[in-house]
Structure 1
């Protein structure tokens, strides 16, 4: 069967770390082309790659089957629309779009064009999240009462990437980091009934958000999603509390770190956390409280591209649908509205 000829829309960190390595080693894909206006960074890593100087030029190449839109957030709608209109399958970096209106338009366009459209919510295949998901699905916590997710860091300096610090639509930690844990929460619990949020910025001279505290209200439980750039001592990334006990897990997926070391994601040991990062399960079982360590599941972003291949070649369900990614944007919009109006926003 012919390889899926794939093009990247840029070769910054996203192309170098999160997409290029997986497409390159996956047996179903051919890393065929890249769009770089002036540089030739991709060629330094992939000597056979074809470089285009404009998106329009790239889209005229009939050999290209799939385009990865991994450019700044504000461009996702425009670039994805052009790719879909050209009849290409598309993977869009998260966040899908800046607004849910844009997202819904792209979903409808992909359906009309009869092409595949997915969003790279890769954190579903983090080792830590996979472990949390498994524990919840096992039912050992009983009925979930409360969950708290953190995506924190200690990074008081402004980014050298100008587009990340320019106060335009789609910038700030709620879009960049929030989209990850919002998607994870929706995967576990579905869409909430309402949202309440506090958004802020604490870095010197910052004009974009670097703090969020988003509350998702469900009929039977609550979910808190938090992020700050001023957390020097890491908190547990996941705290899940149920009627039978609790599960606590650190954020310890190693894939991004390994990729930044230029390690290739094709070994059997890929994505395995240190044993010391196992989660803590403390539950009522057989009339007694029992505390134990839970071994971490293996992380693997390659699973996403396995799913993309199966969707394109065999018309199987996408690993992440554009509709699911649209729901993430709906939550982000509700959080921004809540913060602005200082009230709970019903969905």
Structure 2
């Protein structure tokens, strides 16, 4: 197909209103047409041209809708994605893909059978700091990386939230919510690990895990640690990488999230995703026989590029950036890490040869 792609959005809660609708409406060629809201018409206040409907079946029955975007709680992803694919729609689903890799397998097979595009919103591949890390590694500025650590911490020692993420259903908790991004990023940077070990806990007494400390070990000797805690008042670096030529350390979080939550429209900002200089990462390395110590300007992040890629792929103009098999791999690694945490031992990653890395 070619031309304008009409989009139907299922859900206008936090994810739908902050992380999807503003991005979709910033991509020329995508047209947000219908929004499923159960009890309100909030989307119409910001996007007055959209039609608000109460049931997702209204999207499935509309032949004009080309792409369905699922932003419901992850506990419901499987059902909504399956129904959208069966209705002949392309699908974007919010991360995590599904609570289980078995469900992911079924949906991938269904998408292929239907001849439809299926992808998962791993938008953190389009964070400026991650894009900068990829470029640093591509240019071999650190040499062979031997150790890396990713942190997603905060200070919220008292559990107050009562939303679905804090519940006991499959697919809830911080490891599915945030850890899935780090696992996806680690695999994109370094490949599939040989072993994984997890320490995943409920530190605040809730029903869902709120802490993870996961280690990926590689045959090259590389060790990657992924960590999140709600008891960190003094921040660690977001990313720290150490290699045979030197180190790179980066504090701070990509500014796109805060801007979107504040209601900013990406298409209305000239320097969208550009990070202030005080947050640029520090490098201390040997480059071309010289000792270099300084900062590296962070590449501007762009979640808009995620949806632009989806549009171009549907139109046959680009390879899909976030393949469903890659999103399934992140769920498989989550399952292994949870098993490792339960058993108190490192586990081999048995599907290292089965899951492709783009």
Q: Specify which of 260, 272, 275 is matched with residue 273 of structure 1.
A: 275
1:238 aligns with 2:239: yes
Task: State the partner residue of 1:163.
Answer: 164
User: Deviation per CA, 1:307-338, whole angstroms, max 9, x where unpaired?
Assistant: 01111112531120100101100110000000
How does 1:110-149 map onto structure 2 within 5 Å? Answer: 110-149=111-150
Task: State the partner residue of 1:259.
Answer: 260
Task: State the partner residue of 1:218.
Answer: 218
How does 1:307-318 map onto structure 2 within 5 Å? Answer: 307-314=309-316, 316-318=318-320
Task: State the partner residue of 1:66.
Answer: 67
Task: State the partner residue of 2:206.
Answer: 206
Contact kept in structure 1, 2:98 and 2:104, CA below 8 Å: yes
Which deviates the most, 319-328 or 32-41? 32-41
Contact kept in structure 1, 2:250 and 2:281, CA below 8 Å: yes
Equivalent-residue separation in structure 2 for 1:95 and 1:29 (angstroms): 23
Equivalent-residue separation in structure 2 for 1:47 and 1:286 (angstroms): 56
Q: Give 1:210 shift.
A: 0.7
Q: Give the unaligned 5+ runs of structure 1.
A: none
CA RMSD for the aligned pairs? 1.3
Task: State the partner residue of 2:356.
Answer: none
1:179 aligns with 2:180: yes
Equivalent-residue separation in structure 1 for 2:159 and 2:25 (angstroms): 32
Equivalent-residue separation in structure 2 for 1:334 and 1:271 (angstroms): 34
1:338 aligns with 2:340: yes
Q: TM-score, normalised by structure 1?
A: 0.97
Contact kept in structure 1, 2:26 and 2:304, CA below 8 Å: no
SS of 1:91's equivalent in the other structure is: strand
Q: Give the unaligned 5+ runs of structure 2.
A: 350-358
Equivalent-residue separation in structure 2 for 1:244 and 1:229 (angstroms): 33
Equivalent-residue separation in structure 2 for 1:143 and 1:73 (angstroms): 37
Q: Point out 4+ residue stretches in structure 1 off by more than 6 angstroms.
A: none
User: Deviation per CA, 1:187-230, whole angstroms, max 9, x where unpaired?
Assistant: 10111111101011222x41211100001111011110000111
Equivalent-residue separation in structure 1 for 2:68 and 2:157 (angstroms): 35
Contact kept in structure 2, 1:69 and 1:79, CA below 8 Å: yes
Contact kept in structure 1, 2:7 and 2:66, CA below 8 Å: yes
User: Deviation per CA, 1:227-258, whole angstroms, max 9, x where unpaired?
Assistant: 01111111101110101111111133110111
